[in-house]
Amino acid sequence: MTRTNNTEYLEKIESDRRILELLSQSFPNVAAASTEIINLEAIMNLPKGTEHFVADLHGEYEAFLHILKNASGNIKRKVTEIYGTTMRESEIRSLCSLIYYPEQKLEYVKASEKNINDYYNITLHQLVKVCQEVSSKYTRSKVRKALPKEFAYIIEELLHESPQENNKQAYFNQIIETIISTGRADEFIAAICNLIQRLSIDQLHILGDIYDRGPGAHIIMDTLCQYHNFDIQWGNHDALWMGAAAGNDCCIANVLRLSLRYGNLTTLEEGYGINLVPLATFAMETYAQDPCTQFIPHLDETDTTHSEKTRRLIAQMHKAISIIQFKLEAALIDRRPQWHMENRKLLGLIDIKQNKFIWNGKEYEMKDTLFPTLNPSHPYQLTTEEQELVEKLHHSFCVSDKLKKHIQCILSHGCLYGIFNSNLLFHASIPLCQDGTLKEVDINGNKHKGRDLLEHLGRLMRSAFNNDTDPEEKQYAIDYYWYLWCGPDSPLFDKSKMATFERYFLTDKETYKEEKGYYYQLRDNEDICNMILDAFQVDGKHRHIINGHVPVRAANGEKPVKANGRLMVIDGGFAKAYHDTTGIAGYTLVYHSRGFQLVQHEPFRSAEEAIKNGTDIVSTTQLVELSSQRMMVRDTDKGKELKSQIDELKELLYAYRHGLIQERSYKRYEKF
């Protein structure tokens, strides 16, 4: 270091003195600082951890949990790499199903296996080898933190010893034999299988839409609340449930309508304790003579859980809440004229006498003309009974502790976008003008676009749950959740309209058309994608936008990779309701140290089938982008953080050695 450089370095240390003094509390002397530098430099040279991207889960908890358990096929790939030449395919499938569902699989094995101790011995050796492989890219410290407490010491010993070493062979084998002889094999197998699952995914990215359609959104949320490392980019269906939890009656009505549309009462009643009895009572009384044909729930052809009587009741409830929804939305549109959504007030255009819908001077034929709660003079006014029902439903949503817990989890782990390792993640769109420039969106009198728009909306959404927010601002935030769900300039929707009313009541399918925003028309253009990435300050030679929201119609030849590889759309239709349209059952994206792999999944049969017969989700893997060199931690966002920490520690080391900051002993530090 030259004299000039030395002077500059001293000046830098002086300017960073406060930071270095705080750092010295954790690393009180040269030995401690040096050890940490060595540790961090070593971590920088480990392979990058595996990131897992999923989107649009829509309550399909069995498929989601299975994909978590098999890491989108990554675990089977590892097992095949290890045992592909020494085990048959059926044996590999059986071992993988054990890793995915250890407790349940063991029950099947014990019912048929004649020599269970022999099975335990062979299987434990196999599992240890798989666990050694998946843990090899992590530090011992990180693996140690992931170990189940009950077996932490034993697993750590097995992971770092080899039965092939002569000096340790007897030691290794004796551990395995003792696990079996003490009757702890089942518990130990379950623990090591769960560890393999955990270490196979370093970080999980959820690109929105956990809720609606499928029966188990609450189960997905229970899983995520306990998951080791994940983030959520909020989707329009998530925003709808967040709005419902915040007390937005329009959101509550939409949540109920969608749940009834797909016959999904489990999430509402069992998941969140929402009392649907008042709605059922009101619907049975009000629509007793109405066949409610247009409101029969959309159920799977194989559904056997809903009797004809139940389907009839759901249809009545479905129609009842839909009419209430349209009335509530009209009131909100009147309260927020700045949203310019008057064209969504449609109940008042029904000519009750002629049984016609009159829109812009044109008459439209209606599918349904029975409206017992509609007053022609005041079409958007709730009846006394409807108002009482709305109040009861509002109370039920707002007092649900489980719903509050899950929404808090969404808030604490999420936002409208994320940037991870040169990848920009958001659920749906970035509003654009026709010429491809970022569109300015008016929010309460202020204009926002691009990154600023998403950040402002994120703060607005959080303010709906903050007790210290100004009451007027809080009410606007609560109201805005509905606009996020269906507003034309919402980055979670970005369409001309949501044609719910038209689809229910009008026969003319031309009225169903929802014109997509310019983002959906322009996102195949690499220059547009690069402009968006620049606007969000995403750098890196290999940078991408990763989206969900719009299902990829693979059956029609649509490709999920767009804009010359710059954009990846990973909504392939997890929800069963989409399977006929997309031809598949979802995409997931895996980003490991070798590059990107896009996995296309076929419909998932059941967890029981996977356990009993070793069947897995049939998946097709596409190599989207492979790196010429293996990506290490130093090449990631985490690597940048570690590099910054190393630089600060080197400054601290210099300060210690030149007497600028006084060293302390560990003993003195611990006492302090």
For residue 16, is it within any domain? yes
pLDDT at 552: 73
Same domain, 246 and 391: yes
How many residues comprise the chain?
Answer: 672
* Single-letter amino acid code for the residue at 274: I
Q: Are residues 201 and 143 part of one domain?
A: yes
State which of 383, 402, 421 marks the end of a domain: 402
pLDDT, tens only, 530-548: 999 999 999 988 899 999 8
The tokens for 287 are 């629509």
Tell whether 440 is covered by a domain. no
Q: Alpha carbon of 528 to those of 123, 211, 544, 546, 566: distances in Å?
A: 52, 30, 12, 14, 10
Considering the domain architecture, whether residues 277 and 144 belong to the same structural domain is answered as: no
- Please indicate, yes or no, if residue 288 is contained in any of the structural domains: yes
Domain ranges, residue 114: 51-208+526-631
Segment 133-158 shows an average pLDDT of: 90
Residue 470 in domain: no
Give the chain's domain count. Answer: 3
The pLDDT-based confidence of 2 (bands split at 50, 70, 90) is low
What is the average pLDDT across 332-358? Answer: 95
Residues 304 and 364 occupy one common structural domain: yes
Q: Give strand pairing partners of 569.
A: 547
pLDDT at 440: 97
- Residue 458 domain-assigned (yes or no): no
- Residues near 671 by beta carbon (within 8 Å), at least 6 away in sequence: none
Are the CB atoms for 561 and 546 separated by under 8 Å? no
For 70, residues 6+ apart whose C-beta sits below 8 A from its C-beta are: 76, 96, 100, 616, 617
**Cβ-proximal residues to 176 (8 Å cutoff; 6+ apart), any chain:** 121, 124, 125, 128, 158
Last residue in a domain, options 355, 377, 402: 402
| 250, two tokens | 């329009």
Q: Helix, strand, or coil here: 658?
A: coil
CA dihedral 329, 332, 333, 339 (to 10 degrees): -120
What per-residue confidence (pLDDT) applies to 12? 79
Residue pLDDT, tens place only, 378-424: 999 999 999 999 999 999 999 999 999 999 999 999 999 999 999 99
**Residue the block writes with tokens 């570690």:** 642
Tokens encoding 613: 């017969």
Residue 494: what residue type? D
Q: Tell me what pLDDT residue 672 has.
A: 35
Residue 215 in domain: no
Q: How confident is the model at residue 71 (pLDDT cuts 50, 70, 90)?
A: confident
Residue 325 and residue 349 in one domain? yes
Q: Check residue 10 and give its pLDDT.
A: 77
User: Are 388 and 339 part of one and the same domain?
Assistant: yes
Q: How far is CA 345 from the centre of its chain?
A: 33
CB 67 within 8 A of CB 613: no
Q: Which of 139-143, 204-208, 396-400, 599-603 has the lowest mean pLDDT?
A: 599-603
pLDDT at 570 over 90: no
Asked if 65 and 606 touch (Cβ cutoff 8 Å), the reply is no
Residue 420, in any domain of the structure: no
pLDDT for res 572:
58
For CA atoms 100, 101, 106, 109, give the dihedral sign: negative
Contacts of 475 (CB under 8 A, 6+ apart): none
Please report which residue ranges of 399-444 form alpha helices under DSSP H. Answer: 401-413
- Give the model's pLDDT for residue 668: 45
- Whether residue 506 is predicted with pLDDT greater than 50 in this model: the reply is yes
Average pLDDT, stretch 274-290? 97
> Is residue 566 a part of any domain in this protein?
yes
Q: Are residues 256 and 196 in the same domain?
A: no
Report how far apart the first and last C-alpha atoms of the chain are (Å, whole number): 35
385 with 286, same domain?
yes
**202 and 111 fall within a common domain:** yes
Q: What six digits make up the tokens of 47?
A: 């392979």
Cross-strand bridge partners of residue 203? 51
Please indicate, yes or no, whether residues 35 and 57 belong to a single structural domain of this protein.
no
CB 318 within 8 A of CB 295: yes
In the predicted model, is pLDDT for residue 437 greater than 80? Answer: yes
* Structure confidence at residue 584 as a pLDDT band (50, 70, 90): very low
Say yes or no: 23 and 64 in one domain. no
Quick one: 659 and 555 in the same domain?
no
